Amino acid sequence: MANYQAPGVYVQEVPSGARAIGQVNTSIAGFVGLAPNRDALVDELRVLDNWTQFVDQYVGNATAGTPLSNAVYGFFSNGGSRCYVVNIGQDGSLTGTAAKPTGLTLFEAVDDISMVAAPGFATAEAYAALQAHVEHPLRQDRMAILDTVEKVDDVGALTRAATSGVPEGARAEEADDGTTPDADADDDASEAGDATEETDDAGGNPPSSSSSSVSSDAPDWPDSTRPAASASAGPTTEAGEQQDLGAPQSPGGYTALYYPWIVMIDPVSGKKVTQPPSGHIAGVWARVDATRGVHKAPANEPIQGAIDLVRRVSRGEQEVLNPAGVNCIRYFPGEGIRIWGARTKAPEASEYRYVNVRRLTNMIKESVADGTRWVVFEPNDHTLWKSIRRDIGAFLTNVWRDGALLGTTPQQAFFVKCDEETNPPEVRDAGQVVTLIGIAPVKPAEFVIFKLMQSADNTSETESAGA
């Protein structure tokens, strides 16, 4: 309060009271993997704005790319503008250890990442690490884009969550306790170990060549750059049926799984290679955010740089995969290669089974949290409640105008409630101010149905159409 002593005219600038809430960026990705130059900036977090920066820092004298380099290239070529990269080095893991954290652990301190991927890592351990990262209560502002293994004989195997098996130490302890493992089980485990000898080490020592026969001139991947899990066909039963290759469910819809792998030109070697699609998918997400908005499902979109698919998914196969939350990449003769799915790994009945709904909710959560930080330590009274309703209401009105919320009026699209009912005396005494926000996000038209009939009398239909 100003202290007026002498008579006169005093002019002061006062704030209007309205504080605009801006939308946070939803197009920044984080990639973890092995760089073409395996020793380049190991376990260091770097931010990149274009492909040239990646070449300068991570390629060096390498003659062939890796899933990480191809993913970053696909991200920028499909519309991405900024990403964070961590090179975990040879024999590295996605999270590191307590003494030496790396990979996803380094992303924990970065607030502006909205999507993460580990191109080519498709083991149960990798799925668990990515899911734990995005589902942590302090990091529920991002989604993980998951890859499958390269070769899948039975697509039904992608509907069952992968498991890692029991470590050898546990089996030894079991024998020390006096129990005798079943001989048949030991034989099966030995056969499975022989079948997966080349791909058992998910963090390093990968196989020397690609398992795909897409192109006769596709190069052998360097021993130090091929992710082991990517070339593995997964465990099989005695009858040869693949088992447990999919990602586990994410109750909140914080993960999305895409299949199959794509074929692209390796920008480092200039040759055709097979590549897990997560980096390209992240670029498509960023492109859709820029052209249509985060509320638009990132599906029915072309993948720039994809020249073929490792497997042509049929409509019948997608009928098996889609309800399980496996998004298919399909080839259509007239349109080319397109993303043909927009589901998360949330259960079928979940409110967050669509990618755009989860990402829109994440954007609104983070935008409101950032835009209302001024509220902390303000007097908790009717004036504060009115200000909160005004600011959040203005922000959601803009979101509704962008087409992200369903309704012909703002009142139908959302509500903001902050009053005596949400803030009774016991809540105020606890130092809290509670606001209820309800939104009606738009859902994608996943199933387009036209009902066709023959009718001799179509006068009323014609008249109503003409009116």
Nearest CA-CA partner of 441 in 341, 288, 326, 296: 296
Distance of CA 236 to CAs 193, 194, 299, Å? Answer: 11, 12, 32
Nearest CA-CA partner of 374 in 10, 36, 39, 17: 17
Nearest CA-CA partner of 120 in 112, 105, 130, 108: 130
Average pLDDT score over residue span 268-284: 95
pTM, rounded to two decimals: 0.83
Beta-bridge partner residues of 47: 84
CATH number of 29-163+196-353: 3.40.50.11780
Q: What is the pLDDT of residues 182-233, one digit of tens each?
A: 544 444 444 444 444 444 444 443 333 343 434 434 444 444 344 544 444 4
Query: Distance between CA atoms of 341 and 318, rounded to whole angstroms?
Result: 9
Q: What is the pLDDT of residues 298-311, one digit of tens each?
A: 999 999 999 999 99
In the chain, where the domains are located: 29-163+196-353, 372-439
Q: What is the pLDDT of residues 420-453, one digit of tens each?
A: 999 999 999 999 999 999 999 999 998 999 999 8
Query: Distance between CA atoms of 57 and 71, rounded to whole angstroms?
Result: 15
Cβ distance 234 to 242 under 8 Å?
Answer: yes
**pLDDT over threshold 60, residue 127:** yes
Query: Distance between CA atoms of 298 and 281, rounded to whole angstroms?
Result: 9
Average pLDDT score over residue span 89-96: 87
Q: Report residue 298 as tokens.
A: 């990132």
Confidence of residue 458 (pLDDT cuts 50, 70, 90): low
Q: What is the pLDDT of residues 376-424, one digit of tens each?
A: 999 999 999 999 999 999 999 999 999 999 999 999 999 999 999 999 9
Query: Distance between CA atoms of 222 and 210, rounded to whole angstroms?
Result: 10
